[in-house]
Structures are given as structure tokens and as C-alpha cells.
Amino acid sequence: MGAAASIFELIDLRSFSNLWFWIALAVVWSSASHWVLGVPFDVILRAQNKGAKAEADLQDLVRINVNRILTISDTSWLLIAGLGGFALTALALLGFRYGVEFAQALFLLALPLSLVWLLSVRAAHKIAREQPGTEDLYLRLRRLRIAIQAIGLLAILVTSTWGMFINASLGVLGR
């Protein structure tokens, strides 16, 4: 047994039976719901509870991150859409047509994250266009967070269901 075999045993590409995949899935969705438009949710809560200084900090963070998201999406939207579509299609084909479990896992992680990105870009455009007041901004950020959490919940449900199916199938087949 060579060094390459030892490395491949250490890096198990059977994602759905790997504890690290499930930890990564939890961390990704926890982070996605915590960072709403690039603003930590605790900053939003602090601004609601503490008043003027915290509200100004929130307004500044939202302005900076909205401008950043809009710059990225406006200048590179064609490249992002093309490469993102290619990557998702390649992962879907590799995963579900050719049975590569690692590609299935990445697809089940990347597809919902792309929806979160689209929602964030849409929210950034609305915020930039409408320049909402502080209370309306809180409402928009809370609604975006709830939408992200709903997508994350559905993604975790679908991924865990698919992972259980794959693990049960492989257990029966004795792979």
C-alpha cells in the first residue's frame, strides 16, 4: 500500500458518509444566514437596540457592502452567470449522470448558495435604488435573512435526504 493510497483513504471523497462534509454544510449555512448582505446579523440587532451610533455603523456597512455587491454584479455578471452555469451543469452531470458522489455533494451545496447570491444581488439593487430609512432597512435585512434561512433549511433537508438515500444504497450494495 503506497503513499497515494494512504492519502486517498484520509481524504474520503464519499461525501455523504464523511463527518467533515456535514460539518462544512452546517458552517456554510450558519455563515450564510449570519452575514446578510455582508453585514453580520449581530450588528443589525445592535443597531436596533443601541440607537444612533450603532445605526450609523449599520448604514455605513450596508452602503459599503451594497456598493461592493453591485460593482461585482454589474461589471462581472456575464462572467459569473456563464462560469456559474457551467460549474453547476458540470457538477450536476458528473454527480447525477455519472454517479460521482463528491460532485453531487458540491452541487447540493452550490445550487442553493447561487440562489442566495441572486437574492442578495436583488436586495442590493433595491436598497441602492430606494435608499430606505433605518426601520425599513431593518425590515429588508430581516426578510432577506429569513429567506436565506428558508433556502438553507430546504437545502439541508434535501441534502440529508439524498445523503441518507446514497448511504443506504451503498450499504445494501456493499460498495
pTM across the whole model: 0.86
- 11 or 143, higher pLDDT: 143
HSE of 162 in the Cβ direction (CA atoms, 13 Å)?
22
Per-residue model confidence (pLDDT) at position 170 = 77
Distances (CA, A) of 20 to 12, 105, 139, 154, 159: 10, 12, 35, 20, 14
Which of the four pLDDT bands, split at 50, 70 and 90, describes residue 45?
A: very high
Give 3-state DSSP helix, strand, coil % of the chain, rounded to 5: 85, 0, 10
Distance separating alpha carbons of residues 14 and 48, to the nearest angstrom: 44
- pLDDT per residue over 68-114, tens digit each? 999 999 999 999 999 999 999 999 999 999 999 999 999 999 999 99
Q: What is the mean pLDDT of residues 33-49?
A: 93
Strand partners of residue 39 = 36
Per-residue model confidence (pLDDT) at position 55 = 93
Per-residue model confidence (pLDDT) at position 7 = 59
Per-residue model confidence (pLDDT) at position 17 = 84
Per-residue model confidence (pLDDT) at position 19 = 87
Q: Is the pLDDT of residue 173 over 80?
A: no
- pLDDT per residue over 3-36, tens digit each? 666 655 555 557 888 888 999 999 999 999 999 9
Q: What is the mean pLDDT of the chain?
A: 91
Distance separating alpha carbons of residues 57 and 43, to the nearest angstrom: 8
Annotated domain spans of the chain: 14-169
Q: What is the mean pLDDT of residues 139-158?
A: 97
